[in-house]
Amino acid sequence: MPDAIPPQPPPHDPGQDARQSPRQGEYRTPYAAPQPGFRVPYGPGYGAAYPPPARRSGWFWAAITVAIVGVVAIAMSWIVASMVKSLGSDANVDGLDFSGNSIAVIDVSGVIVDADAVDKQLEKYGKDDGVKAILLHIDSPGGGAAASQEIYHEVMRVREKQHKKVVASVESVGASGAYYIASACDRIYANPASVVGSIGVIMEWTNYGDLLRWAKMQHVTISHGEYKDAGDPTRQMTPKEEAYFQSLVDNMYGQFVHDVAVGRHATDAKITPLATGQVWTGEQALPLGLIDAQGGYREALIDTARSVGIKGEPHVVRPSKARRGLLGMLNDDADGLFANPSQMLDRSPGFYFLWK
């Protein structure tokens, strides 16, 4: 009896191997048919696209627009208020007072080194018909001889050419060049404890010749003319140079005395005994004729207003001041923040109407 033929395996399908055989390195769990009662863990429609967001109504966008406009308006109002406040709470901004009853107040404070700013303010208010008088609010020990003299002559010009009354009010100090300026005014007010006077001239510079010799440095000068290098800070003056500079100081002193006499409606002979460089208090200066009245800024303002026919509270106008913030200071040249050591060795002889 012939042997039984063994059952043959089903035909091999290569595609089935590709579908069922895992790729290299891939693990695939054996397939298990779902059991009865098996449920999908997520609800129907899972994985479908999210529904589009609801459209905003027109009222929503209108409210957003109103809110933005409100914020911008508040910001602009704050900026304008800050600008007005920065100009001074007790003064009007230039050009905004149309009453024609204004008193212009110009501050002369600190050491006087440049006359340009004060001269421009005097010229502006001298031409302004709405400004009835100008009040110089002075708190200064003086400064450069030429700068002080230039302001003096501008005050006299405004009085004579523009027929505008100019009054000086000395706060704490109105000495030397500052008093020079005050003497050009129609009237001088000072507090009893204010310091005024110091009519005189000083010339000074720094001689650093010993420092150069200590550092074994040599200063070389080539000049033509006997007095061309007079005042060289690297050497001592000769007797002729000293006499030369003294003659310049004496000449400026004579100008100072004469101009004060003209401004105070006095004579040179009356002012000369007071021109010793000495200062006096306001209480002492009144009987000497150096001031016209004792009183502070407020009294000077009211009296000046009454003298030009202003009744009631006078309107005060002041020049606008440019204020620097932190950003402005950082943008400035470094010399504006820190002293340059080289400037200490670069001081040429200077003539000053200065109380020290």
Measured CA to CA, the distance from residue 54 to residue 37 in angstroms comes to 39
pLDDT score at 183 = 97
Measured CA to CA, the distance from residue 343 to residue 351 in angstroms comes to 18
Yes or no: say if 92 and 102 are a contact pair by the CB < 8 Å rule.
Answer: yes
Put residue 60 in one of left, alpha, beta given phi > 0 → left and psi -120 to 50 → alpha.
Answer: alpha
At the top level of CATH, the class of 90-320+342-354 is alpha beta
Measured CA to CA, the distance from residue 265 to residue 56 in angstroms comes to 83
Given 102, 140, 169, 176, which residue is catalytic? 176
Which pair of tokens denotes residue 28? 């695939």
Catalytic residue flag (residue 109): no
User: What is 307-338 written as a DSSP string?
Assistant: HTT--SSPEEE----PPP-HHHHHHS-GGGTS
Report pTM.
Answer: 0.68
| pLDDT above 60 (res 19) | no
pLDDT score at 203 = 87
Measured CA to CA, the distance from residue 57 to residue 61 in angstroms comes to 7
Measured CA to CA, the distance from residue 167 to residue 298 in angstroms comes to 12
| pLDDT above 60 (res 334) | no
pLDDT score at 342 = 42
Q: DSSP 3-state helix, strand, coil percentages of the chain (rounded to 5)?
A: 40, 15, 45
| pLDDT above 60 (res 82) | no
Mean pLDDT of 257-283: 96
Q: What is the CA radius of gyration of the chain?
A: 44
Given 228, 240, 247, 356, which residue is catalytic? 228
pLDDT score at 166 = 97
Per residue in 285-311, pLDDT tens? Answer: 999 999 999 999 999 999 999 999 998
Per residue in 101-160, pLDDT tens? Answer: 899 999 999 999 999 999 999 999 999 999 999 999 999 999 999 999 999 999 999 999
Yes or no: say if 97 and 133 are a contact pair by the CB < 8 Å rule.
Answer: no
Mean pLDDT of 175-194: 96
Residue boundaries of the structural domains of the chain: 90-320+342-354
pLDDT score at 230 = 85
Per residue in 48-59, pLDDT tens? Answer: 455 566 666 667
Burial 56-84 (b: 16+ CB within 10 A, else e): eeeeeeeeeeeeeeeeeeeeeeeeeeeee
Measured CA to CA, the distance from residue 354 to residue 198 in angstroms comes to 8
Yes or no: say if 227 and 349 are a contact pair by the CB < 8 Å rule.
Answer: no
| pLDDT above 70 (res 173) | yes
Measured CA to CA, the distance from residue 197 to residue 173 in angstroms comes to 9
Catalytic residue flag (residue 228): yes
